[in-house]
Chains A and B, each alone.
Chain A
Amino acid sequence: MSQVGQVVGILRKLNGEYQSSTPKKLKLIDAYLVYVLLTGIVQFAYCLLVGTFPFNSFLSGFISTVGCFVLAASLRIQLNKANQSVFNVSPERAFADFVFAHIILHLVVVNFIG
């Protein structure tokens, strides 16, 4: 019982920290990440439910969500001012990379979706 209480307490503290210290831009990206995650979960649940036919469609859809998630996460990392020491790119450059990578990703996904 106390363990559950401890976990709940930690989570509440985490949430509070997050809400206060994260800039708005990053929060927007986090919301996007959650959206992509949910979409991926729905697709996977569907696959588990009705089977993998047609497999290529499932794969492309799922990989699309995974790719979007990864690209958005990398954009977030690059935009986070706390990481500016490691990455030496401007936010605009990060965004341009994001757009370019997305075009490639979508091209591949649509090719594979069949």
Chain B
Amino acid sequence: MTSTSLMMIILVILPFYSWCATPTVAANLSPANIDGLKAQFQTAMKSFSDVASIHYTLAGIKELGVVPPDTYCNDIKKLVDKSDVESIFHATEAARALANCKLPAEEYRALLTSTLQSDKSTTAEVYYAVRASVNLGLNVDESRVEKRLNALAKTDDSVASQGYALLTGAQLSQPIAKFYADTINDLVQQADEVDGRTLQYEGGVGTTALLVNAFYEVAEKAGVPVKIDPKQLIKFASYFSTKRHVATLRSAYYLTKVFKYLSDRKNTIPVVVSRTTPAAVSAQNPSVFVSVSNLFGQPVGEIFVVAESAKRKEDGAVVISKQKLTAKDSTSSIFELPFYDAKIPRGFYTIHLTLTPRGDEKLIGLTDNTIEVKVTSEAALENAELNVADRDSTAQAKTHKLTYPNALSEKLDLHSHQKLIIKFQVKDKRTGEYVRTQQAFIRFTNKKSKKEIIYLAEAVSGATAQYKAEMDLTSNAADFRYQSGAYDLVVIVGDSLLQNAFEWKVNDNVQLTFHEDSLADKNHQDLYLPRPEIIHQFRVEEKRPPTIVSLVFSGLTLLPLLILLVSWLRLGFNLSGMPLGLSPLVFHASHGAAFALMFVYWKYLDMFQTIRYLALISIPLFLAGHRVLAILAARREKKV
């Protein structure tokens, strides 16, 4: 009834909607973004700037089943840096991905040998040299390499170094490979667990993928299965499956290799379970379709899927128990679960699925798979009516019965002493009960300015759930900024569990007449325009009297001086007794100088300078003055 901020409502509704829109946080894995990886490689193939990119792209796309043309051989030869063992490594790997690309082995032999013999090469460099030598068909001194790796294991214990050691071991003989394969578990323990759901290594997806890839490579060479605890393997798989887009080609390449290993029938395969139908279950989409595959999106063999339970989010009510899903195709990759049923009420549901493989496939991730769905129903607006009542007396209410979707044909004229009330009910067509919805508003749109004023319709509690929205032309006039005129009136009803939403134009000519004068709309655009400039105003000077006045008074001040002179003359002032001589002269001169100094001080000097000058003048002043006064005193003594 009251005008509430639309934003507040949206903030309440938004969590509900966003829940439906975004994938939920489940233990489920999702299929790898194979197409994305392929596209990344294909884009990179258009132009190469360094030999590492060639390596990752060509080798990567070969893993995905596309054989790159041999023309890239020239690019490899052009971009390789013969003085860098890593560069040589990338070049040989890239050449390996092509059908027919031979690199000049003799040119690299010296550097590779020296790298392997040096005491300063890092584990990565050792790996590059060994692998490049193997690729080129050069001999490798295995015992020397083994010694070097052992020495490095003592000094460099970072996971990356250990990974490279594993990769190097995979290039050497089987016993050495087996030795390294036994260290896989130690390395797995060094991984970081995040949120209890994923495992990763420091360094991001590239390093993690490189390491997991190393596990598989060395185990393959050793002829043993990769010994990783299934729970931890699922966590690794979980980490990788969340990487939909990777930034670098290196990450993309190793990620591709990891997905391939994790989908290889020889190894333990994590199973991916995901919903293929939209989240909303309704009469039109009564079933939930689930896909079961490996990370590559391929089927995993014959498998049985059972829905253990389907719990409603609101109250935890369980609606399904141990229901089998039917396979829709022969490869057992799509399963159907009929969900739309009279016994299943509206709501958000979490379905727990358990998978059981038929054979002895090495599958993991068979439990703890959840699917989120929502059961919606169709709704109808019923018993809608529009009342025009007087503010003060509720007795005389003019009622118009409304039927969705018909609009009210007559023009509504409302004045400031009236109020408008809209009532309606929302019925669930399936169950016949009256429901409350997340959104129920009435909206007035000013036909001229297109401004919208929205009011909330509130439901009374109880089974009837009747919605009522009220607009009072006096108390709500400020919302309209007192702008009288023609308005559209629309009823809006919506809910995430309703199949259909309503935007029902009830009337398109509602004349509202407000008592007060209309105010202009607040222009919200102005917020970001420059504001009016603030011009600094200096302190206003105090008013001075006109110059004439001050001049007159200056004259008046000097007037008493005349009076003084006149009265002195009248009294008989004379200078007859003034002594003449040097001392009186000096006295009078220095006295005059002192007063002159005062004037100069006022106009030009500061206190310190004046004090100095005054000190200078006062010496003769006092000396002479003393002498003059002594003369006068002597004269007086003589007279007496």
Which residues from chain A sit less than 8 Å from chain B, CB to CB? 24, 27-28, 31-32, 34-36, 38-39, 42-43, 45-46, 49-51, 53, 90-93, 95-96, 99, 103, 106-107, 110-111, 113
Do residues B564 and A32 form an inter-chain contact, with CB atoms below 8 A? yes
Q: What residue in chain A is nearest B542 (Cβ atoms)?
A: A53
B432 part of interface (Cβ distance < 8 Å): no
Known: A31-B564, A53-B544, A92-B630. A24 touches B601 (CB 8 A): no
- Chain B at the A interface: mostly helix, strand, loop or mixed? helix
Q: What residue in chain A is nearest B571 (Cβ atoms)?
A: A27
Tell me the chain B residues, 591-640 only, with Cβ under 8 Å from chain A.
591, 594-595, 598-599, 601-602, 607, 610, 614, 618, 625-626, 629-630, 632-633, 636
CB proximity of A110 to chain B, nearest CB, Å: 5
Q: Residue among A39, A90, A113 with the most chain B CB within 10 A?
A: A39
Do residues B563 and A49 form an inter-chain contact, with CB atoms below 8 A? no
CB proximity of A92 to chain B, nearest CB, Å: 4
Contact partner of B626 (CB less than 8 A), chosen from A36, A46, A96, is A96
Do residues B568 and A31 form an inter-chain contact, with CB atoms below 8 A? yes
Contact partner of B598 (CB less than 8 A), chosen from A45, A95, A107, is A107
Known: A28-B573, A53-B542, A96-B625. A35 touches B563 (CB 8 A): yes
A39 to B556, CA, bound (A): 8
A38 to B602, CA, bound (A): 24
Do residues A103 and B610 form an inter-chain contact, with CB atoms below 8 A? no
Do residues A110 and B545 form an inter-chain contact, with CB atoms below 8 A? no
Known: A32-B564, A90-B633, A99-B625. A43 touches B557 (CB 8 A): yes
CB proximity of B350 to chain A, nearest CB, Å: 83
CB proximity of B594 to chain A, nearest CB, Å: 6
Q: Which A residues lie within 8 Å of B543 (CB)? A: 51, 53
B23 part of interface (Cβ distance < 8 Å): no
Contact partner of B564 (CB less than 8 A), chosen from A35, A46, A107, is A35
A101 to B595, CA, bound (A): 13
CB proximity of B398 to chain A, nearest CB, Å: 72
Q: Closest 9 CB pairs between A and B?
A: A35-B564, A38-B560, A92-B629, A50-B545, A31-B567, A46-B553, A53-B542, A35-B560, A42-B556
Q: Which B residues lie within 8 Å of A31 (CB)? A: 564, 567-568, 571
Contact partner of B633 (CB less than 8 A), chosen from A42, A51, A92, A111, is A92
Do residues B567 and A103 form an inter-chain contact, with CB atoms below 8 A? no
B549 part of interface (Cβ distance < 8 Å): yes
Do residues A106 and B598 form an inter-chain contact, with CB atoms below 8 A? yes
A50 to B601, CA, bound (A): 27
Q: What residue in chain A is nearest B628 (Cβ atoms)?
A: A92
Do residues B571 and A28 form an inter-chain contact, with CB atoms below 8 A? yes
A42 to B573, CA, bound (A): 25
Contact partner of A110 (CB less than 8 A), chosen from B542, B557, B598, is B598
B196 part of interface (Cβ distance < 8 Å): no
- Chain A at the B interface: mostly helix, strand, loop or mixed? helix
Known: A28-B573, A39-B557. A110 touches B601 (CB 8 A): yes
Known: A35-B560, A99-B625. A28 touches B568 (CB 8 A): yes
B462 part of interface (Cβ distance < 8 Å): no
Q: Which B residues lie within 8 Å of A110 (CB)? A: 598-599, 601-602
CB proximity of B545 to chain A, nearest CB, Å: 4
Q: Which A residues lie within 8 Å of B633 (CB)? A: 90-92
Q: Residue among A43, A46, A91 with the most chain B CB within 10 A?
A: A46
Give 20 new A-B contacts, CB below 8 A, not counting A31-B567, A42-B556. Answer: A28-B568, A31-B571, A34-B560, A34-B564, A34-B567, A42-B553, A42-B560, A43-B557, A46-B550, A46-B556, A46-B557, A50-B550, A53-B542, A53-B544, A91-B636, A92-B633, A96-B629, A99-B591, A107-B601, A110-B602
Q: Which B residues lie within 8 Å of A93 (CB)? A: 629
B572 part of interface (Cβ distance < 8 Å): yes
Q: Which A residues lie within 8 Å of B545 (CB)? A: 49-51
A28 to B542, CA, bound (A): 42
A35 to B563, CA, bound (A): 7
Q: Which A residues lie within 8 Å of B559 (CB)? A: 38, 42
Contact partner of A107 (CB less than 8 A), chosen from B563, B610, B636, is B610
CB proximity of B605 to chain A, nearest CB, Å: 10
Contact partner of A95 (CB less than 8 A), chosen from B549, B556, B561, B629, is B629
Q: Which A residues lie within 8 Å of B568 (CB)? A: 28, 31-32
Q: What residue in chain B is nearest A41 (Cβ atoms)?
A: B560
Tell me the chain B residues, 545-593 only, with Cβ under 8 Å from chain A.
545, 549-550, 553, 556-557, 559-561, 563-564, 567-568, 571-573, 591
Quick one: CB contact mask for B183-205 with A, threshold 8 Å, 1 for yes?
Answer: 00000000000000000000000
A24 to B563, CA, bound (A): 17
Known: A32-B564, A91-B636. A103 touches B618 (CB 8 A): yes
Contact partner of B614 (CB less than 8 A), chosen from A27, A91, A103, is A103
Contact partner of B594 (CB less than 8 A), chosen from A32, A91, A103, is A103
A106 to B598, CA, bound (A): 7
Q: Which B residues lie within 8 Å of A103 (CB)? A: 594, 614, 618
A30 to B57, CA, bound (A): 117
A27 to B563, CA, bound (A): 14
A93 to B630, CA, bound (A): 10
Q: Which B residues lie within 8 Å of A49 (CB)? A: 545, 549, 553
Quick one: CB contact mask for B230-273 with A, threshold 8 Å, 1 for yes?
Answer: 00000000000000000000000000000000000000000000
Q: What residue in chain B is nearest A53 (Cβ atoms)?
A: B542
CB proximity of A113 to chain B, nearest CB, Å: 6
CB-defined A-B contacts under 8 Å, sample of 26: A24-B572, A28-B568, A32-B564, A34-B563, A34-B564, A34-B567, A35-B561, A36-B560, A43-B557, A45-B553, A46-B550, A49-B545, A50-B545, A51-B542, A53-B543, A90-B633, A91-B633, A91-B636, A92-B630, A95-B629, A99-B591, A103-B614, A103-B618, A107-B598, A107-B610, A110-B602
A107 to B601, CA, bound (A): 9
Q: Which B residues lie within 8 Å of A45 (CB)? A: 553
A19 to B401, CA, bound (A): 117
CB proximity of B160 to chain A, nearest CB, Å: 80
Do residues A92 and B632 form an inter-chain contact, with CB atoms below 8 A? yes
Q: What residue in chain A is nearest B587 (Cβ atoms)?
A: A99
CB proximity of A14 to chain B, nearest CB, Å: 18
Q: What residue in chain A is nearest B601 (Cβ atoms)?
A: A110
Q: Which A residues lie within 8 Å of B614 (CB)? A: 103, 107
Q: What residue in chain A is nearest B607 (Cβ atoms)?
A: A111
A24 to B571, CA, bound (A): 7
Q: Residue among A36, A93, A95, A110 with the most chain B CB within 10 A?
A: A110
A113 to B571, CA, bound (A): 34
